[in-house]
Structure 1
């Protein structure tokens, strides 16, 4: 069996100790857990600021660190989806305090005080994880202080970390309409097609892999009749390197590199565009029964 390097940390010189016996490497390490302590950070293909961005880690997510370099890079695996890449060491902090809440708003501010009139100190995207403590109220608005009292967030923009905050992942995806397309993005500032699917399903408590090829082999069940079958809202259409979500049987919602944004457009238009390029739908999958 050939292991996928996107979800398994191994190089000729260094590998995750859990892969011992499955890969060859000069050295195996257990890795240390760290937490992302910035709003978001790119996960790069190589330890260079000009390297391609393959994914993104969000505030509060755990990573397993296998190596840190003198140049300020860390080779990590994201615990959320097992994705492997290089992040800035400056983005890493201690594991504690453990997050208690998850951001449910498309984007929310961390204020310097429990008052919307105070300047924000950070902007966080949906899915970010926070350790929250004391409650506060200012002029009728409820807030929650960060556990270390370094800032406060609007209480209605978060929910308990282990709770799904929506039952309809398509409705969640619709909230991202007009968000700019960003290769490797996983936030409301910019995201790609598989990032949109991953974030939207996560809101309903369904974890899925990061990339389209990984999602296509893992999500739900295949609709055997494909495009010729009875398509439903929420069905996922896969092409080689792309995925979209059906809002209804005739409308596709997707993060489009063609329009450079999350858009909703007639499925017939999308199919025609791909057909002109000689690219066919590879499968239709149904995430939920």
Structure 2
């Protein structure tokens, strides 16, 4: 049963809703979501079916979605990875099969028309994108959808990088992008989600969702922190690299940046999100 407590995760409008919500929410019509998969390197998920509508998040190649409506070039979907609902370009979608076999582990990798690094690339895939490998030719995977990716930039689907803070460090300097969750542009919660997913852990999309769902709350104060702890403000999140340094995607630097936690806390309290609301510690032993 879909979550109806959060409109970001509820596939329901006044005129149309997920058939699983019949009797739960009121709508003129109910439909079963049709399975599909994102077939382009990345695609913007917007809050309305208009090009000028705000970017809520991004889907990447291999993401499975349920499609409830296609109209005027947009598909109203729910992303399976985190449950987010919104509008993707219809052109971004393809068949649900074959399922992904590999995940991009490099910050980004090029897609070539042939297994030859001297050929002009046709696209690039970001960290976390997934693909179905049809065959291996030399040092390259042939993608089921066409094109070739350097095999050394990918790992088998399901492979996890335990140190999610190390993944964040690799992303230092990535430009800030509201709604971004690729290595070309990230927002604060997109950085956390991408790093945790790379570590094999499911993670909600937005900072408030992450604060409610992830880890255990630590006592108030900035002492005794360790690598991987998540620091939350109302509308912002970062993660600790050690007891003193915070890494976060932020609008002050307009990039993923590392700075002393206490300096960030003082600046943020005055200029943006107010005081720290909680610090949470994740346990990967479960």
Q: TM-score range by the shorter chain?
A: over 0.9
What TM-score, normalized to structure 1?
A: 0.94
**Partner Cα distance (1:155, 1:168) in 2:** 22
Return the TM-score normalized by structure 2. Answer: 0.95
How far apart are the structure 2 equivalents of 1:231 and 1:89?
45
Partner of 1:192: 187
Query: Which residue number in structure 2 is paired with residue 240 of structure 1?
Result: 234
Deviation at 1:36, TM superposition (A): 0.8
1:271 is aligned to 2:265: yes
My pick for the range that moved more, 229-238 or 204-213, is: 229-238
The separation in 2 between residues aligned to 1:145 and 1:74, in whole angstroms, is: 28
Partner of 1:143: 140
2:157 equivalent in structure 1: 161
Q: Report the secondary structure of 1:226's partner residue.
A: coil
CA pair 239-147 structure 1, distance change in 2 beyond 3 A: same
Q: Does 1:30 align with 2:26?
A: no
* RMSD (Å), alpha carbons: 1.4
2:52 paired with 1:57: no
Shift in Å, 1:2: 5.8
The alignment covers a number of residue pairs equal to 281
1:171 counterpart residue number? 166
- Does structure 1 retain, via aligned residues, the 8 Å contact 2:174–2:185? yes
Find the residue that maps to 2:192 and give its secondary structure: helix
- The aligned runs of 1:64-83 (5 Å cut-off) are 64-69=66-71, 71-83=72-84
Distance, in Å, in 1 between the alignment partners of 2:24 and 2:274 is 35
Gaps of 5+ in 2: none
For each residue in 1:240-283, what CA deviation from the matched residue of structure 2 results, as whole angstroms up to 9, or x when unmatched?
Answer: 00000101111110001111100001111111112224701000
Distance 2:38 2:52 in 1: 21
Give the CA deviation at 1:226: 2.8
Please give the secondary structure, in 2, of the residue aligned with 1:153.
Answer: strand
How many angstroms apart in 2 are the aligned matches of 1:280 and 1:9?
33
Matching residue within 43, 56, 70 for 2:45: 43
**Which residue does the alignment assign to 1:261?**
255
SS of 1:38's equivalent in the other structure is coil
| Aligned mates of 2:50, 2:137 — CA distance in 1 | 43
Displacement of 1:135 in angstroms is 1.5
Q: Is the 8 A contact 2:223 2:243 kept in 1?
A: no
Where in structure 1 are there 5+ consecutive unaligned residues? none
Mapped partners of 1:276, 1:147: distance in 2:
51
Using the TM superposition, give the Cα deviation of residue 229 of structure 1 relative to its aligned residue in structure 2, in angstroms. 4.5
Question: How many Å separate the matches in 2 of 1:268 and 1:91?
Answer: 42
Superimposed CA distance per residue, residues 8-62 of structure 1 (whole angstroms, 9 cap, x where no aligned partner)? 1111111111222221111111110111111111000100000000000001111
